[in-house]
Amino acid sequence: MIARPTTHRWHNENDIKVVALGGGHGLAASLSALRRLPTDLTGIVTVADNGGSSGRLRDELGVLPPGDLRMALAALCGDDEWGRTWADVLQHRFSSEGALHGHAVGNLLIAAIWDLLGDHVSGLDLVGQLLGAQGRVLPMAAVPLSIDADVRLHASPEEITHISGQVEVATVDGHVLGVHLEPSDPPACPEAVAALDAADWVVIGPGSWFTSVLPNLLVPGLRAALGRTSAKRILVLNLGEQKGETSGFSPENHLEVLASHAPELQLDYVLVDLVLHDGSKSLAAAAKALGAELIAADIAMAPGSAQHDPLRLASAFHQIMVQA
């Protein structure tokens, strides 16, 4: 039998208040890194997924898509036996010939608790307590959202096409020109706004640029909080282009797109992998245009990997936060 921890890590007044924004594997990497530091940690998660298990639950039950929230909670599980076991349980997917095929256990658990409590935030807090999560997970908005995009398709580059849906935008065979949310003025999660107002540090990215990173900046309440918070802001760049969504993008392109979608947003640091940095003056200039200092560090899982290493990322975060 696995022994449940008898104590939890209580935050103290010396802990750094950190808020990380994003979704999917990128946000999970940041949270997994940040929970290793003495932080009072909150993850704010995009809620626009319309595919797979999340999309099915969203359509059938009218709830927020739970998938990215589940991944964030799993990333906050501890490294003891209890935490590792619950992380595996949350991420386990059924494989069958029936209706359960493809559903993640964590998605069903979260949806069930929401159904019982009738409140998204209270439900996520309860799941976090069950897991012994080393931080809090919140949705970026109080309602499910759709991501819409203007795209120049490779098959017809002379035309600009409008597409709708997170999955559709993420996999489009074309050049994404810009994204917006539907509804365009969604209510921000009040607890997420409060976390940003109280933060010492805000971490944005990495992740799918148009469908995980930028959507948080398009929620008016979060955007306003990002503008007024006294927290220092770190942007973590992806380790390369993402097929479909950011095909052909350089690191500079990622910064240019962010600036075009949130022109008033100022950053303090842009964190990039050493291999991508390569002494690039243009990348440093693009960071400076956002008010940021460019920091290069070894943060990839391995040379050429598309995944960030949580331990290396934790070391980079620590160096930035200590030196600031």
Pairing of strands 146-153, 161-164: antiparallel
pLDDT, residue 11, reads 54
Indicate if the pLDDT at residue 189 is higher than 70: yes
Residue pair 49/166 in contact (Cβ under 8 Å)? The answer is: yes
pLDDT, residue 278, reads 66
Give the domains, in start order, of the chain with CATH numbers. 13-34+192-324 (3.40.50.10680), 48-139 (no CATH)
Could you tell me which residues come within 8 angstroms of residue 1 by beta carbon, excluding any fewer than 6 positions away? none
Q: What are the tens digits of pLDDT across the range 296-316?
A: 999 999 888 889 999 999 999
Where would I find the beta strands (DSSP E) of 27-169?
39-45, 136-139, 146-153, 161-164
Sign of the C-alpha dihedral, residues 45, 173, 238, 291? Answer: negative
Q: What are the tens digits of pLDDT across the range 224-278?
A: 999 999 999 999 999 988 887 888 888 999 999 999 999 999 999 999 998 877 6
- Residue 310 CB burial class (10 angstroms; 0-12, 13-18, ≥19): buried
Residue 209 gets which letter from DSSP?
Answer: I
Q: What distance in Å separates the CA atoms of residue 188 and residue 186, rounded to the nearest whole number?
A: 6
Name the strand (E) or helix (H) holding 130. Answer: helix 120-131
Q: What are the tens digits of pLDDT across the range 106-160?
A: 899 999 999 999 999 999 999 999 999 999 999 999 999 999 999 988 778 888 8
